[in-house]
């Protein structure tokens, strides 16, 4: 019976990978002084009485390193799209030209870079916490398995595996954070 008890490492790995992908998505929304279409993805436009993602009311393009353009498909939504961008907190002033909205990305000052670097560190810390919670869940399963008859040696082997997954995930988060902070601080 004790041999039937097993911990699902693939599930733990999948959940840790999910924490990493959430971190990458949060990092993509940080403005680094370079234009990226992911900067405007969280913006919702009041279109036809419902909040709609900005990429569903127009085409988002990056024609230059410091310029985003949004070609709004329906001319009646240009004003609502411009308003949504202004109210988004991105700190970007949209320029309307017919059905095209241009978003010039201003250069970041040193203070703002440090601020964004701290925000990135907070996102990474949240991801680390998520990974540690997943580790704790795995260890709790091991404690239950031990109570159900798993041997001490098996518990040790499984806990080493869970810890190895955790260490690898934390290392990947730290490397991603280091890369993002370098990108933010780059002038």
CB count within 10 Å of CB 20 equals 16
Pairing mode, strands 100-104 and 67-72: antiparallel
What the chain holds in terms of domains, given with CATH numbers, is 8-28+109-185 (1.10.132.20), 37-104 (3.30.1360.40)
Report the chain's terminal Cα–Cα distance, integer Å. Answer: 62
155: Cβ–Cβ under 8 A, 6 or more apart, which residues?
142, 145, 146
Question: Tens digits of per-residue pLDDT, 89-145?
Answer: 677 889 999 989 998 887 778 887 888 888 889 999 999 999 999 999 999 999 998
pTM to 2 decimal places: 0.68
Question: Tens digits of per-residue pLDDT, 15-69?
Answer: 999 999 999 888 877 766 677 777 888 889 998 889 989 889 999 998 888 888 9
The residue among 114, 110, 144, 103 whose CA lies nearest residue 7 is: 144
């Amino acid at each position: 019976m004790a041999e039937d008890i097993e911990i699902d490492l693939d599930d733990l790995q999948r959940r840790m990978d999910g924490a990493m992908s959430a971190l990458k998505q949060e990092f993509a929304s940080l403005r680094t002084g370079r234009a990226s279409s992911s900067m405007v993805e969280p913006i919702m436009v009041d279109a036809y009485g419902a909040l709609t993602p900005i990429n569903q009311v127009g085409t988002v393009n990056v024609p230059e390193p410091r310029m985003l353009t949004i070609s709004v498909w329906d001319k009646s939504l240009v004003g609502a799209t411009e308003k949504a961008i202004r109210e988004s907190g991105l700190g970007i002033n949209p320029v309307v030209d017919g059905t095209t909205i241009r978003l010039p990305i201003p250069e970041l000052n040193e203070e703002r870079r440090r601020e964004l670097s701290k925000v990135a560190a907070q996102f990474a810390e949240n991801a680390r916490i998520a990974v540690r919670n997943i580790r704790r869940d795995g260890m709790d399963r091991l404690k239950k398995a031990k109570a159900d008859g798993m041997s001490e040696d098996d518990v040790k082997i499984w806990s080493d595996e869970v810890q190895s997954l955790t260490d690898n995930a934390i290392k990947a988060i730290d490397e991603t954070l280091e890369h993002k902070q370098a990108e933010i601080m780059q002038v």
